[in-house]
């Protein structure tokens, strides 16, 4: 009898434990469902301007659905079809302050071809601010956009951890622009796109730029961005090709301060001999640069009186932010980024350089390629090859930022 009772009790406990286990598993499954199957998640969409100011647009694809927004005229084309849009007929005189959505194209079974590239998502044709011209805008999901971008901004065959770091940086850059409407504000008019696919913003890719590696880097960091401060603010996240040995803060290069940034050493770039440069600038041209700096207010007006005096440069470091020059006995201080702005990216590929005066020439010795702010792509490649994770890479270049998953 006692044995029987014991057995029943045991069975009862086992049943209870099984039930508890089932409840826990069910709860975990429910919690995991949106993440695993993507039923409830919301992946943001992004509108990327592929080309601007076109007179004609030629698009092709299979089973296309074409919609003219004016008149709500929808047409389906079976099989392969090329569609030509003539933009010069839109309005020859009128300029559009606010873009008008003219047509949209979708291919439910495939891709849309535009200028030798193939794209996923919707392709929109909108009026350009210039009369008789239009812009082509691709609307796709954030993660598809990021995967294509990785091949263009980095290289699809680079180690996944480097690509993941780039994916987080580029995603934050894009989402920050969308959230703040930065593109519209800068353009000074309403735009139908969030970002441009160009070096001005970030260079996006097309369908055939993506591969397993770029997809893996994108989807394994899905929804992850960088935030800073107690309020977990989203700030613009910058990146560049190679820093030359030390990264810079945004205010070192541009006028504006951005919260959370710090300049950090980058070992991988110090070792790179291929990213060194040596340039010469004519003294006459250099004096013109000084006059321009006075006109623009980068140097105080009083310096005009000393422009023809003998010039002497105060010894400075490769990674210092400013250069001090004596014009006679008058000292002027100039930000390195001001040189780059005036002489251009060919003479000054980076903001890490030294200058010296030598007879009638100014000699420039530098390292790196790009503005040097934020994530250094070649530095990240070096770290990933050494086995660093993308989290460690991001923590190095953005020591005050934190990783946050927002979808």
Which chain residues interact with Zn ion by CB under 5 A? 243, 266, 269, 376, 379
Least distance from Zn ion to the Cβ atom of residue 262, Å: 14
**Which one, 136 or 168, has the nearer CB to Zn ion?**
168
**Quick one: 38 exposed, middle or buried, by C-beta within 10 A (0-12, 13-18, 19+)?**
exposed
Pick between residue 121 and residue 244 the one whose CB is nearest to Zn ion: 244
**CA neighbor of 378 nearest in space, from 166, 151, 143:** 166
Per DSSP bridges, beta strands 65-68 and 73-76 are antiparallel
Question: In sequence order, what are the residues at sequence separation of 6 or more whose Cβ sits closer than 8 angstroms to the Cβ of residue 73?
Answer: 67
Nearer to Zn ion among residue 289 and residue 319 (C-beta): 319
User: Pick from 142, 162, 122: which is nearest to 204 by CA?
Assistant: 142
- Select 364 or 376, whichever has its Cβ closest to Zn ion: 376
Q: Nearest distance from residue 35's CB to Zn ion, in Å?
A: 34
In the complex, the smallest distance separating the C-beta of residue 37 from Zn ion, rounded to whole angstroms, is 40
Q: What is the number of H-type helices and E-type strands within the chain?
A: 11, 21
Residue linked to tokens 């340039």: 279
Residue (47 or 246) nearer to Zn ion, CB: 246
Indicate the residue among 185 and 267 with the shorter CB distance to Zn ion: 267
Token pair of 362 as six digits: 């100014």
**C-alpha of 66 from chain center:** 31
350 vs 341: CA distance, rounded Å: 11
With a CB cutoff of 8 Å and minimum separation 6, the contacts of 19 are none
> In whole angstroms, how close is the CB of 241 to Zn ion at the nearest point?
9
Return the number of the residue (142 or 380) whose C-beta is nearest Zn ion. 380
DSSP state of 315: P
Q: State the minimum distance, in angstroms, from the CB of residue 336 to Zn ion.
A: 16
Q: β-strands 361-367, 352-358: how paired?
A: antiparallel
For the CB of residue 76, give the shortest distance to Zn ion in the complex, in Å.
51
CB of 155 to Zn ion, least distance (A): 16
């Amino acid at each position: 009898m006692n044995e029987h009772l014991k057995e029943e009790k045991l069975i009862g406990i086992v049943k209870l434990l099984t039930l508890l286990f089932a409840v826990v598993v069910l709860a975990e499954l429910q919690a995991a469902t949106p993440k695993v199957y993507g039923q409830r998640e919301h992946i943001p969409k992004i509108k990327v301007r592929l080309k601007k100011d076109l007179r004609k647009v030629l698009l092709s694809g299979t089973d296309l659905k074409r919609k003219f927004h004016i008149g709500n005229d929808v047409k389906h084309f079976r099989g392969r079809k090329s569609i030509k849009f003539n933009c010069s007929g839109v309005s020859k005189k009128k300029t559009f302050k606010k873009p008008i959505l003219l047509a949209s194209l979708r291919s439910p079974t495939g891709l849309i071809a535009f200028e030798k590239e193939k794209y996923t998502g919707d392709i929109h044709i909108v009026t350009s601010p210039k009369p008789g011209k239009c812009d082509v805008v691709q609307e796709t999901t954030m993660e598809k956009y990021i995967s294509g971008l990785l091949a263009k901004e980095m290289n699809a065959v680079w180690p996944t951890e480097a690509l993941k770091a780039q994916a987080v940086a580029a995603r934050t850059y894009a989402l920050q622009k969308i959230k703040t409407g930065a593109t519209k504000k800068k353009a000074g008019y309403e735009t139908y796109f969030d970002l441009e696919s160009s070096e001005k913003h970030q260079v996006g890719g097309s369908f055939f730029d993506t591969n397993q590696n770029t997809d893996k880097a994108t989807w394994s960091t899905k929804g992850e961005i960088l935030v800073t401060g107690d309020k977990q603010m989203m700030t613009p996240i910058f990146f560049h090709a190679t820093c030359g040995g030390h990264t810079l803060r945004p205010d070192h290069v541009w006028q504006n301060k951005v919260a959370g940034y710090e300049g950090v050493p980058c070992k991988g770039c110090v070792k790179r001999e291929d990213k060194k440069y040596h340039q010469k600038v004519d003294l006459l041209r250099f004096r013109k640069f000084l006059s321009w700096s006075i006109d623009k207010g980068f140097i105080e007006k009083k310096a005009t009186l000393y422009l023809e005096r003998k010039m002497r440069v105060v010894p400075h470091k490769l990674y210092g932010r400013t250069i001090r020059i004596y014009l006679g006995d008058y000292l002027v201080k100039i930000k390195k980024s001001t040189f780059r702005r005036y002489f251009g990216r060919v003479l000054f590929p980076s903001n890490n350089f030294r200058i010296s005066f030598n007879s009638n020439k100014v000699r420039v010795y530098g390292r790196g390629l790009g503005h040097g702010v934020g994530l250094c792509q070649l530095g990240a490649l070096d770290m990933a090859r050494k086995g660093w994770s993308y989290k460690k890479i991001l923590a190095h270049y953005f020591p005050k930022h934190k990783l946050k998953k927002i979808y």
